[in-house]
Structure 1
């Protein structure tokens, strides 16, 4: 069994004396693990950084085996973000959430394309923080925890949607939600349109919304029943500078 693909490196951990077990998120093969010979050494350290974009060749005698990777570095995103704390924290959160949440070997081509574009935008595009929030929303959708932001949970109407019900994950209009406003989550407009924004208030509301549903819906499905700590660190770092 053998394939070649490009991907985003999600995690690497030492295996034995000199090898490493690496997880990569690729378009055609999803989250896929393999052994990198010599991955525990200094020569491979610059490559095996979360968020690095790599060219990968995977091989195994049978498909069910862990298999082995041969990797070539394409873009060392961590290295270019060393002087940008929020962007580096976002990169680490992307890798941690994808590694924890994505099912192994299941392709998610649209999410992969969104991930690759976001990683390339970190620290470069001024609207990258809101694009990160949109990515978290897309991750929820791809994992089967998607929100319905197209209609009001109470009336079914599609106008003036400014809240989200924390129980159902469905939008609520201003009029229908007014009596329960303190119990509802704010819905920033850009999460409905998909158009990134640089508005700090919308960014704060978006990260609060996606963070709530990541914690409530994805968290309990994870082995430790909680989100990776990298997510909270990223949200705090982003809001300190951009929110």
Structure 2
């Protein structure tokens, strides 16, 4: 195996005292793991920051062997870790991506969306500039892994109008008329997820509630407490910021 490609750093795990196993997302080869000698050195530590864009080169004698990895920094997002909300956002999206994607399966749409999400955080560290992109990224993760939500028509009536809710069981939209009397049992369906455009904070938090339910139920079943802790930190900070 030999591959040289741009990649986004997702996770860094210590291997021994000085080395590291790094997972990074490439556009055409998907998520790849690699062993980096001296990965915890003073020189490489700032390069191997989750969210950073790098040029990676993976080399292994066989497909089954953990590849050796060398990296060159393309873009550092380390300064964003000084902003609590931006840091929490980068931490969550990289943790989520590393946790749910199978290795060596290409997901070019997720690569593009994650790049755009990180660019949005960099361009506007204030959460209003990237929170909508975050909800859409979570929705895309669900869809790409086979758990997409059906938000275009009411699952009860077939209508495309007044789709204010989502069934927590089926992941399908429910119109206001069909939901009458059952609103408390349903999840909110903010308009920006169907229609695009910007959203106010109520809609953004509703969107996070919606995607969070299905991420926990369908993708993070065995690792809820471990992985979702990063998301809880982010959502808590968002709520404090807009309170």
TM-score, normalised to structure 2, is: 0.94
Q: Which residue of structure 2 aligns with residue 34 of structure 1? A: 34
Q: Is the 8 A contact 2:192 2:199 kept in 1?
A: no
Q: 1:95 to 1:213 in 2, by over 3 A?
A: same
Q: 1:172 to 1:227 in 2, by over 3 A?
A: farther
* C-alpha distance after superposition, 1:99-134 (max 9, x if no partner): 100111110001110100110110524431111111
Q: Aligned partners of 2:71 and 2:122: how far apart in 1?
A: 25
Match of 1:135 among 98, 112, 137: 137
1:81 partner SS: helix
Q: Is the 8 A contact 1:137 1:146 kept in 2?
A: yes
1:144 partner SS: coil
What are the residue-to-residue correspondences of 1:189-204 with 2, within 5 Å? Answer: 189-195=191-197, 197-204=198-205
Larger mean CA deviation between 232-241 and 138-147 belongs to: 232-241
Q: Is the 8 A contact 1:87 1:238 kept in 2?
A: no
Q: Aligned partners of 1:169 and 1:64: how far apart in 2?
A: 37
2:51 partner SS: coil
What are the residue-to-residue correspondences of 1:7-156 with 2, within 5 Å? Answer: 7-77=7-77, 79-125=78-124, 126-156=128-158
Larger mean CA deviation between 125-134 and 201-210 belongs to: 125-134
Q: Aligned partners of 2:7 and 2:239: how far apart in 1?
A: 28
Q: Which residue of structure 2 aligns with residue 208 of structure 1? A: 209
Q: Aligned partners of 1:239 and 1:25: how far apart in 2?
A: 30
Question: How far 1:225 moved relative to its partner?
Answer: 5.0
Question: How far 1:19 moved relative to its partner?
Answer: 1.6
Instruction: Give the RMSD, CA atoms, in angstroms.
Output: 1.5
Question: How far 1:237 moved relative to its partner?
Answer: 1.6
Question: How far 1:194 moved relative to its partner?
Answer: 3.3
The yes-or-no answer on 1:241 pairing with 2:236 is: no
Q: Aligned partners of 1:227 and 1:165: how far apart in 2?
A: 26
Question: How far 1:198 moved relative to its partner?
Answer: 4.0
Q: Aligned partners of 1:67 and 1:2: how far apart in 2?
A: 9
Q: Aligned partners of 2:67 and 2:20: how far apart in 1?
A: 12
Question: How far 1:226 moved relative to its partner?
Answer: 4.6
Q: Aligned partners of 1:193 and 1:57: how far apart in 2?
A: 40
Q: Aligned partners of 1:152 and 1:36: how far apart in 2?
A: 50
1:20 partner SS: strand
Question: How far 1:190 moved relative to its partner?
Answer: 0.4
Q: 1:227 to 1:202 in 2, by over 3 A?
A: farther
